[in-house]
């Protein structure tokens, strides 16, 4: 009975088209489904090696030199990093790497080949630039989702350190998310010198690493190395990859990113600002200046007002006014909520376009 049942099962699966003689021996190990073997988990070190190997194929060096100086020039040369986002030769880097229009920029691929680069578009507010080289069949980076990042997860920074040590890899963790950091000494709102929603990491980011990828253990690019804070313990900061994705299409089509404009300078209120300014509330944006003729001025917003929210977005330590504004497009009508002299007020504002 058992042999008969087995024979019927085997025929029904199409293994033996004409049946099976009762005297024929069966090698069941060759015809029954194989038992799944437990997969061997990679060690953290092995995962890291594979992640870096995956990402490095899309990383490029960028050199900017004065006209007729050649790529071996020193002194006035600018060194940076980038990574391929489209196989047709589109490359992303930092705006500050390619911000000097007097320089000629060259991209060096991982195989050592060199191509002159054209800057297609620049966004100084998020420090993103898009370049084009005349090359085909490049290996684009595998892009991740920076909205899913968690503090404490392992990452790698890859870049052209010091303009001399190409494809340098450093390892660390994501130490904070949503940071706002000054590029220089001017922290004035919408000045172009303050970057928002950055990824903070303890992975070493050296001069020349700017524009290189920040990579997770899956080999996905989750950010772009942008700046370091050397005032104390060295901390690195990266632009989230989702910010870059949002900017890429506009940079490719228009050469810039359309941004909403309110027309105010402000200080984000924190416990120190609250005490020093003797403010009655602990969260919001204290307006220090309103630009004449700007949307805020037209709506009736004054210096000394405190913006507490826009539409249903409440300002706080993790949501600055600039962050809230980026939720809306230029030309949007929004309701700006104000605290003024003990009163809560609302002002309808049509946002302008940042120039």
The mean pLDDT value for 17-30 works out to 44
Does pLDDT of 271 surpass 60? yes
The mean pLDDT value for 76-103 works out to 93
Does pLDDT of 40 surpass 70? no
225 Cβ contact partners less than 8 Å away, ≥ 6 residues apart: 81, 157, 159, 205, 209, 210, 211, 212, 213, 214, 236, 238
Percent above pLDDT 90 for the chain = 48
The mean pLDDT value for 240-250 works out to 90
Continuous segment of H or E residues that includes residue 48: helix 44-56
Q: How far apart are the first and last CA of the chain?
A: 85
The answer to whether residue 100 is catalytic is: no
Does pLDDT of 320 surpass 60? yes
Does pLDDT of 7 surpass 70? no
Taken in order of first residue, the domains within the chain and their CATH numbers are 2-31 (no CATH), 47-132 (2.40.10.10), 146-253 (2.40.10.10), 260-353 (2.30.42.10)
pLDDT in tens, 164-181: 888 899 999 999 988 878
Retrieve residue 22's tokens.
């009762």
The answer to whether residue 231 is catalytic is: no
Pick the most confident of 34-38, 77-81, 188-192.
77-81
Give me the DSSP letters along 260-322: EE--EEEEE--HHHHHHHT-S-SSSEEEEEE-TTSHHHHHT--TT-EEEEETTEEPBTTB-HH
pLDDT recorded at residue 18: 38
Least confident of 159-163, 193-197, 312-316, 321-325: 193-197
Q: Answer yes or no: pTM beyond 0.75.
A: no
The mean pLDDT value for 317-334 works out to 83
Which of the following is catalytic: 61, 123, 126, 127?
Answer: 127
Does pLDDT of 355 surpass 90? no
pLDDT in tens, 201-241: 999 888 888 999 999 999 999 999 998 887 766 789 999 99
Does pLDDT of 156 surpass 90? yes
pLDDT recorded at residue 270: 84
Which of the following is catalytic: 210, 305, 320, 322?
Answer: 210
- ∠ CA 53-57-63, nearest 5°, is 125
The mean pLDDT value for 22-38 works out to 49
What pLDDT band is residue 296 in, cutting at 50, 70 and 90?
very high
Please provide the average confidence, as pLDDT, over all residues in the chain.
82
How many Å apart are CA 92 and CA 96, to the nearest integer?
12
pLDDT in tens, 103-147: 999 999 989 999 999 999 998 888 999 999 999 999 999 999 998
Task: Return the SS3 of 224.
Answer: strand
Does pLDDT of 266 surpass 70? yes
74 or 346, greater pLDDT: 346
pLDDT recorded at residue 206: 83
**Dihedral pair phi/psi, residue 331, rounded to 5°:** 95, -5
pLDDT recorded at residue 353: 84
What pLDDT band is residue 11 in, cutting at 50, 70 and 90?
very low
73 or 150, greater pLDDT: 150
Which of the following is catalytic: 58, 61, 93, 96?
Answer: 96
Retrieve residue 97's tokens.
């790497």
176 or 323, greater pLDDT: 176
Does pLDDT of 38 surpass 60? no
The answer to whether residue 210 is catalytic is: yes
DSSP assignment, residue 119? E
């Amino acid at each position: 009975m058992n042999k008969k049942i087995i024979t019927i099962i085997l025929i029904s699966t199409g293994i033996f088209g004409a049946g099976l003689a009762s005297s024929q021996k069966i090698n069941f190990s060759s015809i029954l489904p194989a038992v799944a073997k437990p997969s061997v988990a990679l060690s953290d070190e092995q995962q890291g090696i594979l992640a870096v190997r995956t990402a490095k194929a899309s990383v490029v060096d960028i050199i900017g030199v004065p006209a007729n100086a050649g790529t071996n020039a020193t002194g006035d040369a600018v060194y940076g990093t980038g990574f391929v986002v489209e196989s047709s030769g589109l490359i992303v880097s930092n705006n500050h790497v390619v911000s000097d229009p007097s320089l000629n920029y060259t991209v060096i691929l991982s195989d050592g080949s060199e191509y002159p680069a054209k800057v297609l578009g620049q966004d100084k507010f998020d420090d993103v630039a898009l370049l084009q080289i005349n090359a085909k069949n490049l290996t684009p980076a595998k892009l991740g989702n920076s909205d899913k990042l968690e503090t404490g997860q392992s990452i790698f920074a890859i870049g052209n350190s010091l303009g001399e040590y190409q494809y340098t890899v450093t390892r660390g963790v994501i130490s904070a998310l949503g940071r706002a950091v000054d590029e220089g000494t001017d922290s004035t709102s919408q000045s172009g010198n303050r970057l928002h929603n950055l990824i903070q990491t303890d992975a070493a980011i050296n001069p020349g690493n700017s524009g290189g990828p920040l990579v997770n253990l899956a080999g996905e690019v989750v950010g772009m190395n942008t700046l370091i804070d050397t005032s104390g313990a060295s901390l690195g900061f990266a632009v989230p990859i989702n910010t870059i994705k949002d900017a890429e299409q506009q940079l490719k089509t228009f050469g810039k990113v359309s941004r909403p404009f309110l027309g105010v300078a402000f200080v984000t209120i924190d416990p120190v600002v609250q005490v020093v300014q003797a403010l009655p509330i602990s969260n919001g944006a204290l307006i220090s200046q309103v630009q004449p003729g700007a949307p805020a001025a037209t709506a009736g917003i004054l210096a000394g007002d405190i913006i507490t929210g826009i539409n249903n977005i409440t300002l706080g330590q993790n949501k600055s006014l600039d962050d809230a504004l980026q939720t809306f497009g230029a030309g949007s009508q929004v309701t700006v909520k104000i605290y003024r002299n003990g009163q809560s007020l609302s002002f309808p504002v049509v946002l302008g376009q940042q120039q």
